[in-house]
Amino acid sequence: MRTTGWLLILVCAGLLRVRAQEGGKGGATTAVLAQEQAWSDAESRNDTGALEQIFDNALVFIEDGRLATKGECLARVPLAGSHPRQIVAAATAVHFFGSAAVVVGTYHELAVKDGKASPKAWRFIDTWVNKQGRWMLVAAGASPLPK
């Protein structure tokens, strides 16, 4: 869903340098980052089935001032799938607060409109909650970075 819909696009996603903010959370950090990666991969494949498993039913997603629910996020996938897109995500930190994990990072998106490429960059906060051993995405928000 980190996308503007129409536009260009090839997909690659990567999670780069990450540091856990609390000691002894290495396993949880890996698990949360694996979910972040699974999310990017599922987006790239337009795999709504996989996204369905990653998104909590109560998911709230805000990008560019727009609010979307889980259903709205999933509904946007086939639309995005008709266009290739390139998204490179880089998580920079995972913070744990009880059973919640907050991931901070940036992602870069290459979009093309009317033949013109326009790169965009965002800083995001994703919030994951551990539900019966599985990390579910409950909130995601992104703010555009200045060009």
Distance from C-alpha of 40 to C-alpha of 141, rounded to nearest angstrom: 15
**Residue whose pair of structure tokens reads 């579910």 in the numeric block:** 136
Strand-strand pairing, 55-63 and 66-69: antiparallel
Question: Contact letters (x/-) for other proteins, 20-59, by CB under 8 A?
Answer: -x----------------------------------x-x-
Q: Which stretch binds other proteins (CB under 8 A): 1-9, 29-37, 76-84, 122-130?
A: 122-130
Q: Which residue in the set 77, 88, 110, 139 belongs to the binding site for other proteins (CB under 8 A)? A: 139
Q: In what helix (H) or strand (E) does residue 45 lie, and over which residues does it extend?
A: helix 26-45
Asked if 109 interacts with other proteins (CB under 8 A), we say: no
> Contact, 1 vs 81, CB < 8 A?
no
Q: Which residue in the set 23, 66, 82, 133 belongs to the binding site for other proteins (CB under 8 A)? A: 66
> Contact, 80 vs 114, CB < 8 A?
no
Residues that bind other proteins (CB under 8 A): 21, 56, 58, 60, 62-67, 93, 95, 97-100, 102, 104, 121-125, 127, 129, 131, 138-146
